[in-house]
Each structure stands twice: as structure tokens, then as C-alpha cells.
Structure 1
Amino acid sequence: MLLSQSPLFHHPQSCLRAFNLMHQALCIAEILDQISWHTDRGSLPGLALTCRTFEGPALDALWRNLQSLEPLVNCIPTHFWGFNFQGELMLLRPIDTKVWATFRRYASRVHSITQSGDPSPIIEHLRILMLSYPYPSSTMFPALQSLAWNVNQTHLIIEFLRMAFVPSLVSLDLRITSISPALMSVLSTIGTACPNLTSFRPQVDDPTWNRELAPFLTQAICQLHHLSALTVCELEDPGMMHVTQLQSLKTLWLYIGPSFLRRTGLLPQSLGLEHLEHLGLQAIRLNHMTDFLRSLGTVRSKHITAVFSSNAFGQQSDSISQFCTMVLERCDNDTLEAITLCEQFYNTFHNVYAQPSDFGPLRLLRNLTYFDVEAACTISISNDGLGELVKAWPKLTTFRLNCYRDPTSTVLPTFHGLINVLRLCPELVSLSLVIDTTQLDGIDIKSPGNGIGNNGLQDLVLGNSPISSPLDVALVLSSLLPNLMGVNLSPWIGGPLDALFAKQWAMEQWKQVNRLLGGFHIVRTRFLGQ
């Protein structure tokens, strides 16, 4: 509408009132913040230059979350930098107070820093910048709450870490790609420099460094009293005692080395984990985690995850059974609701071979709602064995048994087994199961479940299930799962099935199933008038 056609144009008083209201609205900080947060990042510098009203909120939005440290380095004009005769980066002149004022104006607005790109081009600039800072270190990032360093060259950013460890920090995610005396010394100061940390995740690239790092990480962690999430390697005894006594701790990921029980001086079962939502364990062998659980008293955790390496490292086939037995002995059966077992690299060709009976001890966990061993083992199971396994878990919402069928495996469930799972676990929303879809004996294509089905299932993985007729498979699935839009094919696309022989043929078969399911869904929707 042209301005001359607007009713406001013919009523100057109304026009003035509208502009006054808009001006009053822009005096409300929350509105300015919302405008800034919904502005495209590339437009924020322009918004900051619009007027002083928008300058502060726009700069806050622009600098609040940094995806790299490069913007901080760029605060120093290029004419300050140069190289000496040896080609080393250096400052050509001292950084003056005006430039430092600009730097601090922006750095004080930073709430989170995530370095995920290659830091090599800015490492030396950053080190010189930190060493040249003329004010107390705690004033560089006074509002910093989250720091994540997910790339290499950790040993070269000691100066930066010393400045970034501030009392306001609540989340620290640090990848340790090499160790040095200076780095370990800085790590030991985390407890005093960042007393308010609630999430701490030191990622160690080489597990052999854990023994050297343990004393320094132990000292730091013993001074942290508000942790709710911790990922850490083995700790010395005081550290383990502190961790197990933290009532605020809800998520614990612990790397277990083979020397854990030989090194510790604690009495067996003298420690327990009482308040966890999620306990994650990682080790080369599953029996290392079994031994760790054996050393504990009661474990009260809603979710337990065990990550191990494949049998290429000598994994024993009976280790799953032993682990499940120990979980039942040590864990509070009424509290535990979720179990996840997975091989570290999800290598379908080196998975542990398991039997349904290996998971037998877990059948006593009546409150289980989540069971995922898809990435842990290759399992042969019949229709009867499948029904026997799941009938103890009527509350299951996620059941991920397998997505890979070993060619040497001769025992597979059929659609009868799938129908039984849907009958016994009516609350399922996610299911991963390999079945023989070519066996249709006793299956009525028009009504395969005799009224049994699931309207809520949202995710179905059938992996490399044998298939010969996409039409028959689509008809059965459409009847059993009327709201399913398609079979999840992600395991074939960059997943564990990506390298399988005849991948293209299998993918085309399952894509045809999904095209048919999509067509059936459209017809059903139109028929119901929806």
C-alpha cells in the first residue's frame, strides 16, 4: 500500500501516535534482544551501526557464541603483526590501550567458544595476544560460560586456557591430543579457577596417557562440588571417592583401563553410585567394565551404556553374558530403565557373536523401556527366542536388537516374530530387527496380524533382512504399522551396512518398499478424509 493511500497519511495525529508507540517499544531491552537474535548473523554488524539503541544488543548477539577464536585475533589490526628474520610471528609495536579497549569490548560479551576448525593459522597470534594482555587474566572473558576445544594442538594453547578458566565457566569440553608438564599443571588448576563447573569432559586421544593425567585431573575434580555431567579417565582413589559422593552428578562417563583394579587401594564394594541418570563405561574389553561393576556397591542409574572394542582385540563371546549378570547383581532393578551396548567403531564384520540366553539375566528388569544392542553383537534368534526375550519387558519403547545378518547365520525370525514383538510391547516407537521377509507361510497379506499392530511406531530399521518381494513386504508393514512412512535406511548410507556386498541391489529393494508405503499412506489418508 502506498503511503498516500494509508489511512494514517490522512490522520497526522494517528501517525504520530503510532511512531511514538514504536519508539516506546524500542526502549524495552527484551524487544531489542529478540530483534537482534532473529537477525541474520551476517546482518548483525550493520544492525549495530544503525543507531546506539541497537548497537549493544546487536553486538551481544554477534559475539555471544563464537565458533572459532579467529574473531578475537582479528580484533588486533594487521599492522601490529609482522615477522622477524627467522620467519617467526611477532608484534611490530606494543598494542595500545585504544586497541585493547576495543578487544575487551567484544571479549566481555563472549559466553561460549567452540573451536572445531583447524587452529593452526591463529595459534601463534593467539599465544602472543594472551601473553601481551596487560590486565588481570580474569577480566579477559568475564562472562564466559562454555568452552569446547575439539581439535588438535591442545599443548599450544596453554596461555589461552589459563585466561579462559574463569569462575563463570560452567561447561568445559577439552580434547587432549598431546600432553606436556605445562598442560598438566594448568589442568590441575581447574578446580580453583572454575569452581562452578557443572559439566567437565576432558577427551584423551591416547588412553596410555591416563596414568600420567590421573593425579592432575583427580586434584581438579576433587575441588568441583557442582558437577552434573562428567566424562573422565580413571582417577586416583580420592577422585573416585569424591565422584561417587557427588549428589549433583547425574551423568558419568568413565574410561576403564585394564590396570584399574590392580591399581586401586579401595576395598571391594566400598564405593557406590547412588544418584545417576546415566552411567557410561568405556574400555577395550567388556570384561574390564564387568570387573569395575563388581568392585562397586549398589549402582542406582536409569541408563547404563557400555562401549567396548570388537573381538579383533580378543573379545570373548561369553563376556556379554557375564556383563549382564553383573548388571543385575549391582544395579537397582527398579531404577534401571535403559541398557545400551555398542562396539566402539560399530564394525559389523568384527562384532561379538551372542545368543539370546546371554541377555537372560536382564529379563528380571521389569521397568526396562530402552534396550539397544544393535551395535554390539551379531545374534541368531528364532521367533520363539525373540518372544521369550521381549515378553519380560512390556514397557519397551525402544528395542534395537540388530540391523546386520551375518551370511553364516541360519536362524532368523520372520514376520511372525515381528508380530509377536508388536503384541508383547505395544508402546514401541523405535525398532531395529533383522527378519526373513521371504518367509510368508501362515501370513495373510491382507490381515497379517489378525488385528495386532502399532499406530505409534516412528522408526523401523530392518537392516539387511532378506527380501524378494518389495510389494509383499510393503503390504504386510502397511497393515501392521499404518502410520509408518518408510523403513529407516540410514544404516546403508554411511552406516554399518555401507560396505556390504550387493549394497546397491538391496538399497533399491528397500527404496521400492518405501515408495509403496508412501503410496499406501496417501491412499489411506484420502480414504479417511484427512
Structure 2
Amino acid sequence: MHRALCVSEILLQVFMHVNRVLDPYAPLLSYREISLARKSFAALARTCKLFYEPAMDLLWAELDGIKPLLGCVTRLHPVMYCRGGSKYLCFEVIEPLYEHETCQFLHHAHRVRSLRILHDDYLHVLSDLLIECMFPRLLSLSTDRNLNRYLHLFPSPTLRRCTLPCVQPDLKSVPIRCAALEDLSIKSSFGNIAADGQVLYDSIRLCKRLVTLACPPLDWTTLEYLSNLPTLRTLEIWDDRCSLGSCNLTFAPFLNITTLYFYTRRVAYTIAVMQHLDFPSLNQFEMDIVKLPWAEAEPLFHALSRHKTLSHIAISSERGDQELQDLLGNSSTPIRQFLCFTQLRILRFNFPCCCINLDNDLLLEAMSSWPHIRMLEFVDPQAAPTVTFRGLFTALHRCPRLHTLDIPLDTTDIDVDPTADSFLHTSLRHLNLTSSAMSNAEGVSRIISSVLPSVDRTCPPGYKRPSGICLEVQKHLESFRESSVLGRHILT
């Protein structure tokens, strides 16, 4: 072995290079790349004693399932790594671990830092395991299956993140044994509202250091507890199959919460939370709701208007309400309700009739109210485009930092002459035209190229609808850009 590898700094770089492939936040990797990285760590571990410990720590740091650990058990190794035999084995017939096999199974368990239990069928072999903590250094636990009576085997004193598919009967064992827990995620509905709800509420009130919480709806008492938890930053509420009822509690402000998400069928729970609770640091609000009728949308928008610190708002709904059609001639419009948010950076509406009365004047008024806006999306399948190029360019003067724009745009009526206007908006990169009325793709492309020279995309990624004329605009823009680059090369 070369003496250079005895230098700790050089050795660290070698291990960092291999570990970068196994980084869970790295871009999607092929099975071959991951397999090669793991083989590299195994080879490094066999090289010498100096390499063994750090290589083995990194080799076992991330596990998908407990199969590799079961493969360390002499009796189970041929079953776990069966070659040439049947691909479909009945793992239920495998007997639980015997007492003398426990050490073999746990031989490398102390090295595991992140565990994902996805499609394992082996948990029953742990039924006779008499141990309080299998993974003493575990930082992250994630599973998409109900662990039931096996949950108590996985929490560790070091656990920071825990993702479960639903409320588990033994959920309280997690905060009791994981004092360092920061991220708890249960993105599901209650199976039994009364029983599961009580388990969830009791468990959350045992958490002392939560930073991120995603769970089914909470009751007022649990929300009161969270209002006094200084570490909490993000709260996600999934489903809404329970009612908050009247509030008789006095809440402290949620001083440090910056992000709220609501994924619900109905809006009543969200309105109650936004009306009764104070979030002085709230920066981001997102809601994905099945149906957003106007009768409930207005009180929601009014409740949101209390929180002037919001700079990111996203509301999405599959269905609207037929009564909105009656408002087309009315001065009411969802957009106008948000003009008070002068600090907006991102505003995304994706629900029917969100563009009621959106025209050149209203767009100018809106963009004048949002000078810092960077992303503006009004996706409305029922909207008739009424904003023209003249109105768009006038409004863009007020938003010099706008990066992404998606609104119904009338590109049939070409009401501007780009050669007579020296205005350039160089920040806009993505102008979505999929909902626009258009007949002259080349003419539209020339206008965009002249006034919005940085636009490199006019339809969302992966948009392949054959009849989409915005694809023609995209092709013309690319052609203009190539011609421009070629012209500069010729001149130089």
C-alpha cells in the first residue's frame, strides 16, 4: 500500500469520492452504479485494518430493508442470496431467529444510520428477538408498511427522522425512546378517528424537539402544545376527517413556524386553523384540496390575508364550483384577494375559475402590488384568455425579477410592435403558453424573442401534446437562438 494512503486527508478524499455515489440526495443513479460503489467499499474494507472500520461504516450506513443483515445469519444466508433457484420463495415458512443467531444478525446493525423498510417480508423472523434497540446509531427510519408490533425494535436514542405510513398502535414508543426526534411524518388518514387520533395526540405531546411534523388533523389541545414548542418550523396536515369544533383555549403565537401545508378534501379545517392561530413568521402556505367551492374559498382567502408575512402561496384543486360561472361579470376575483401580500415571491393558483376577470388592468394592478414576484402561475382550465401582449409587457415593467409566468394569454390578437419598443425583460425564463389562444406561432415567437430574450421554455417539461401550438413556438425560439449564435460567430 502506498504511504500516501496513510495520510488521513488523502484517505478521507478517497472515501468521500466513493460515498458520493451513495449519497441519498444525489441524482437518480442506476442499480449498476450503486452496486459498484458498494463493491468498492467492500474491497476497501478487505484491503487493510486501516481501511476496515471507515469502509464498513459507509458500506452499512444506508440500508433498504433488513435482508442484508439477515444474510449475515449462517442459516439464512443461502435463502437471502438464493442463486439459480426459484425467484418466488415463501419467506413466511422461515423460522424466527434463534437466540444464538442474534449476534450474527446484529453484527453490523450498529453501523446503520438510515433504514428504509419498503417491501420486506422478513419482519416475522424478528418476533422472538429480545432486544430494546437493534440500531443504536440510527438517524432515519422510513417505511411504507405497517410495522405493528415490530415498531419498538427500530427507534434509537439518536433517531432524528421517522416516516410511517399510518398511526401505529405503539407510536408512543418513538418519542419516548427518541428524545432527539426532529422530523415525524405520517401522511395518511386516520383508520379509526377516535383510537388513532388519541394515540397520535398523546405521542406528539411527548415530542420535545420537533422541527417538521406531517400528520393527520390535530385537535385544539395538541395544537396548543405545538404553539409552545419553539423548535417547530414546518407543519403539514393530511386529510380532514375530524372537526376542530369550537376553540376555548388561549394559544401562544407559533413564533417559528415558517411553512404550512394542507392536503385535504374540504377547506373547513384549514380555515379554522388560519382564523384562530397566529403565525408571525409564516412564509409559505400550500393547500391541495379536492374541491374548492367559492362559498368556502372567500373565507379561506380572508383568513390568509391576516398573515402578511407570506411570500409563497400555492393553492390547487381538482374541481371548483359551478356558481363561479355566475361571477364572471362580477368584480369578485380570487386574485384581488391577494393584492395585500406585498412580499410575494411565488403565487400559484391551479383551480377552476381562479382567473375570473383577469385582464390587462387587473394584471397590471396585481404585478404592481407584487414587485418582488418571481413565479406567477394561474392555471385555469375554464378561463378564456383576455390578457394581451400589450398588457403583459406593461405589467412586466413592474416585476423586474419575474422568472416563471403561466397565465391564459391571448396571442391571437397581436397588439404590439416589438421593433418600436426598446423594452427588454431579461429575467423571464419560462413563459407557459399551453393555455393560450394562438394562430401565428412564428409571429408570437418573434415577439417573445425580441422582448423576452431569456425565455427558453414555452411549455412545461415533458409536454408532448401533438396539437400544442406552443411546441411550434418553442421550436421557432430555438431556431432564432441558433441563428443569433451563428451570426455572432460569423461577425467575430
Q: Same fold (TM over 0.5)?
A: yes
1:111 Cα deviation (Å)? 0.8
Taking the TM superposition and a 5 Å limit, the aligned residue runs for 1:81-480 are 88-91=92-95, 94=98, 96-97=100-101, 100-116=102-118, 119=119, 122-123=120-121, 125-128=122-125, 130-134=126-130, 136-138=131-133, 140-149=134-143, 151-152=144-145, 154=146, 157-176=147-166, 183-184=168-169, 186-204=170-188, 206-207=189-190, 209-255=192-238, 257=240, 259-262=242-245, 266-267=248-249, 270=251, 272-297=253-278, 299-310=280-291, 315-329=292-306, 331=307, 333=308, 335-343=309-317, 346=318, 357-375=333-351, 377-380=353-356, 381-402=358-379, 404-406=380-382, 409-440=383-414, 442-446=415-419, 450-480=421-451
Amino acid at match of 1:103: F
The gaps in structure 2 that reach 5 residues or longer are 22-32, 80-89
Q: 1:41 to 1:58 in 2, by over 3 A?
A: farther
The answer to which structure has the higher helix fraction is 1
Q: 1:413 to 1:52 in 2, by over 3 A?
A: same
1:35 Cα deviation (Å)? 4.4
Q: 1:80 to 1:389 in 2, by over 3 A?
A: closer
Q: 1:309 to 1:27 in 2, by over 3 A?
A: closer
Q: For each residue in 1:150-195, what CA deviation from the matched residue of structure 2 results, as whole angstroms up to 9, or x when unmatched?
A: x34x1xx23442111111110111112xx6xxx32x1122221111
8 A contact 1:195–1:223 mirrored in 2? no
Paired with 2:175 and 2:92, the residues of 1 have a C-alpha distance of: 35
Hey, what does 2:4 align to over in structure 1? 22
Q: For each residue in 1:205-242, what CA deviation from the matched residue of structure 2 results, as whole angstroms up to 9, or x when unmatched?
A: x3463443221111111121211111122234432111
Hey, what does 1:500 align to over in structure 2? none
1:389 Cα deviation (Å)? 2.4
Q: For each residue in 1:312-333, what CA deviation from the matched residue of structure 2 results, as whole angstroms up to 9, or x when unmatched?
A: xxx422332221111113x2x2
Amino acid at match of 1:419: F
Paired with 2:323 and 2:288, the residues of 1 have a C-alpha distance of: 12
Q: For each residue in 1:404-460, what CA deviation from the matched residue of structure 2 results, as whole angstroms up to 9, or x when unmatched?
A: 442xx44521212321332121111121112121111x311545xx23332122332
Match for residue 60 of structure 1 among 25, 36, 57: 57
Paired with 1:487 and 1:373, the residues of 2 have a C-alpha distance of: 18
8 A contact 2:65–2:115 mirrored in 1? yes
Q: 1:258 to 1:213 in 2, by over 3 A?
A: closer
Paired with 1:161 and 1:505, the residues of 2 have a C-alpha distance of: 52
Q: 1:526 to 1:240 in 2, by over 3 A?
A: same
Amino acid at match of 1:266: N
8 A contact 2:425–2:453 mirrored in 1? yes
Q: Which moved more, 1:216-225 or 1:349-358?
A: 349-358
Q: What is the TM-score when the length of structure 1 is the normalising length?
A: 0.78
Hey, what does 2:25 align to over in structure 1? none
8 A contact 1:229–1:251 mirrored in 2? yes
Q: 1:352 to 1:103 in 2, by over 3 A?
A: farther
8 A contact 2:162–2:185 mirrored in 1? yes
Hey, what does 1:498 align to over in structure 2? none
Q: 1:316 to 1:486 in 2, by over 3 A?
A: closer
1:57 Cα deviation (Å)? 2.7
8 A contact 1:76–1:103 mirrored in 2? yes
Q: 1:480 to 1:71 in 2, by over 3 A?
A: farther
Q: 1:66 to 1:52 in 2, by over 3 A?
A: same
Q: For each residue in 1:372-405, what CA deviation from the matched residue of structure 2 results, as whole angstroms up to 9, or x when unmatched?
A: 1135754242222222222211111111112x44
Hey, what does 1:50 align to over in structure 2? 47
8 A contact 1:282–1:289 mirrored in 2? no
Aligned CA RMSD, in angstroms, stands at: 3.1
Q: 1:92 to 1:466 in 2, by over 3 A?
A: closer
Paired with 1:110 and 1:351, the residues of 2 have a C-alpha distance of: 56
The gaps in structure 1 that reach 5 residues or longer are 1-18, 494-502
Paired with 2:293 and 2:20, the residues of 1 have a C-alpha distance of: 54
Q: 1:327 to 1:377 in 2, by over 3 A?
A: same
Q: Secondary structure at the match of 1:137?
A: coil
